[in-house]
Structure 1
């Protein structure tokens, strides 16, 4: 719906919406209040573990944020399922209850949306928002299909990729195989398999 930045900030701070997730871009606001099922929760956990384990094995600096708000005051606001700062150049934001100020700390390097009921919006409006926010890479997990669609973002435009650029060498085929395996394997078994794959690569 059409809204001002001030409308968005007030709405997201109101008691009925504190447990929701909100997005603001180009004078449009969206608030999501849908309940999340086990598919969303499980695949969110698996995809987070994949990124963290890959960064650990490859010696990459990483900081992850689950359901955290990122605001570029007056312009954009989002609360992705999970986001990561990657590489040597980032500073950790303070761990308080305020949204992360993108003007001060920069946009997250990688944003991941886990799409159950929101899959089309994740591919469309949210991807465009992340392009404008300055995110370097954007992934959408299709819960029902256990598929990952990854985009590299440069010059505020995105293009689909098969291998991550911000996690160099991480093939989306391996990420999707991890999501498939998560249907029948516990986290310990899955992480051991991933560790072997990442160490061998």
Structure 2
């Protein structure tokens, strides 16, 4: 959907044709501080994420799973929540969760500005949690992460407690059943943890995860 003046009358939660300059005006507007921003190939998307507990709980569980697994397996990791990654004039993305994983990455700078992906590499693993945005998460956003050089992408369907994981290589992606960037972590176990969280508290889930990871 196109708009002649997206800075004044943009449509949230859909892709709108815009120049980079128009996108930046909105992205830097404090009125949209709680929004999420995406830009790719002359189109922008501004999301107003749901504020209910379902998405928030799944976000929290995903952080626990990734960090706990990396800790048990002694994998170097650095996580970021709702952080923007920018290649000026070309692309910007703001996933729910992003992780740098491995021995070689440099810690991204502490600042209030988007991470410059021309200076720092893109995150290794990106996770989006979709309620109303799920179809876009597995569609157009997946293309953004393919083009950006992200190595692995997970999409959590908050409405049903499901997850789809993709390995990204040479600009294309395919579904996987086991993480490539967190070797040995089965996606089915991540799904089970998400579903357990609907009836169990964080302590129960963490103890179960620790037992599962230690036995693997």
Residue 107 of structure 2 corresponds to residue 87 of structure 1: no
**With CA pairs under 8 Å and 6+ residues apart, which has the higher RCO, 1 or 2?**
1
Tell me the residue number matched to 2:23: 8
1:68 equivalent among 71, 79, 83:
83
Residue 133 of structure 2 corresponds to residue 118 of structure 1: yes
Cα deviation digits, residues 122-174 of structure 1 (max 9, x gap): 00011100110100000000011111100000011000000000000100100
| Structure 1 portions without partners, runs of 5+ | none
Distance 1:112 1:36 in 2: 18
| Structure 1 position 79, deviation (Å) | 0.6
Computing the radius of gyration from Cα coordinates, the structure with the larger value is 2
Distance 1:89 1:113 in 2: 24
- Contact 1:72/1:133 (8 A) holds in 2: no
Distance 2:192 2:115 in 1: 32
When the two chains are superposed, the root-mean-square deviation of aligned CA atoms in Å is 0.8
| Structure 2 portions without partners, runs of 5+ | 1-15
- Contact 1:71/1:102 (8 A) holds in 2: yes
Tell me the residue number matched to 1:194: 209
Distance 1:34 1:74 in 2: 25
Tell me the residue number matched to 2:7: none
Tell me the residue number matched to 1:48: 63
Cα deviation digits, residues 102-136 of structure 1 (max 9, x gap): 11110000000000110001000111001101000
| Structure 1 position 179, deviation (Å) | 0.5
Query: Which aligned pairs between 1:137-152 and structure 2 lie closer than 5 A?
Result: 137-152=152-167
TM-score of the two chains, using structure 2 as the length reference: 0.91
SS of residue in 2 equivalent to 1:96: coil
TM-score of the two chains, using structure 1 as the length reference: 0.98
| Structure 1 position 45, deviation (Å) | 0.4
1:130 equivalent among 145, 164, 167:
145
Residue 171 of structure 2 corresponds to residue 159 of structure 1: no
Tell me the residue number matched to 2:188: 173
